[in-house]
């Protein structure tokens, strides 16, 4: 089973992705991790990417797409869930073309809906567990409030990312995601429109529900 997942920061995308990964034993592949692993591993693609990063430039798709494919093939032989990529329509098209050339299929594309203001508030209340960043803790959501200053799941130390407290930074991230012309939502819609003829299923979830209700709805549609 191969899955793409879309959702704004604050939508619970990481939490739901982790639940799906565990149930189906998929490789949960996040875009940031792809760069880190290639650079740390000293691959040819990683070295090329590092040159751009050192100059403060964006890594071009001609390097990023092959990185993604190599990681999917290396880690996702038993199925994968790709999180955080593509982020714009050009990447969406190039990724689809590259997957087709490699004979790699997509089975499901998941989009988690969440109003922008709700997403912002969730981000600012988010707390990260030192032991497992996918443990849900949020001071503004009753169902997943931490136990005081520690993780509600494991009791681990909690912290808040600096950029989660920066409304300007949150706004910039959401500007990219909620852009329906060329941004991340537009790339999700590329796959939504492609799904009927390409033979994969496009699943839309209401991100304002509880973690358990979203999970139940999602797993029912993946069955």
| 202 CB-near residues (< 8 Å, 6+ apart) | 108, 109, 111, 191, 192, 195
- Annotated binding-site positions for ATP: 10-15, 126, 209
d(CA 184, CA 88): 5
CB-facing half-sphere around the CA of 162: CA atoms within 13 A? 0
Instruction: Quote the CA–CA distance of 37 and 34 in Å, as a whole number.
Output: 5
Between CA 142 and CA 126 the distance in angstroms is 12
Cα dihedral 120, 124, 125, 129 sign = positive
Specify binding-site residues: 10-15, 31, 36, 57-59, 84-87, 91, 126, 161, 173, 209
127 is catalytic: no
Q: Name the catalytic one among 48, 126, 152, 215.
A: 126
- Annotated active-site residue 47? The verdict is no
Catalytic residue among 48, 120, 152, 173: 173
Tokens of 41: 């591993």
Q: Looking at 48, 87, 120, 215, which residue is catalytic?
A: 87
**192 is a catalytic site residue:** no
CA-closest candidate to residue 221, choices 139, 117, 107: 107
| C-beta of residue 14 within 8 angstroms of C-beta of residue 83 | yes
- Vertex 78, ends 74 and 84: CA angle to 5°? 65
Of the listed 13, 48, 127, 152, which one is catalytic? Answer: 13
Annotated binding site for AMP: 31, 36, 57-59, 84-87, 91, 161, 173
Choosing from 73, 130, 161, 172, the catalytic residue is 161
With beta carbons less than 8 A apart as the criterion, state whether 39 and 50 touch.
Answer: yes
Q: Which residues are catalytic?
A: 13, 87, 126, 161, 173
């Amino acid at each position: 089973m191969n899955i793409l997942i879309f959702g704004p920061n604050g939508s619970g995308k990481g939490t739901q992705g982790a639940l799906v990964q565990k149930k189906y034993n998929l490789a949960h592949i996040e875009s940031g991790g792809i760069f880190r692993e290639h650079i740390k591993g000293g691959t040819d693609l990683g070295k090329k990417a590092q040159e751009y990063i050192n100059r403060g430039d964006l890594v071009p798709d001609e390097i990023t797409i092959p990185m993604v494919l190599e990681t999917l093939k290396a880690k996702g032989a038993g199925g994968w869930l790709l999180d955080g990529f593509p982020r714009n329509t050009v990447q969406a098209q190039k990724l689809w073309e590259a997957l087709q050339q490699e004979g790699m299929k997509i089975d499901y594309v998941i989009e988690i809906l969440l109003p922008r203001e709700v997403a912002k508030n969730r981000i600012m209340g988010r707390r990260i567990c030192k032991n497992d960043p996918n443990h849900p803790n949020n001071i503004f959501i009753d169902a997943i409030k931490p136990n005081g200053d520690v993780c509600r799941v494991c009791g681990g130390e909690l912290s808040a990312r600096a950029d989660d407290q920066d409304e300007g930074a949150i706004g910039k991230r959401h500007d990219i995601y909620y852009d329906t012309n060329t941004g991340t939502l537009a790339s999700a819609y590329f796959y939504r429109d492609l799904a009927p003829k390409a033979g994969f299923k496009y699943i839309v979830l209401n991100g304002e529900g509880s973690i358990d209700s979203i999970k139940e709805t999602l797993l029912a549609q993946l069955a």
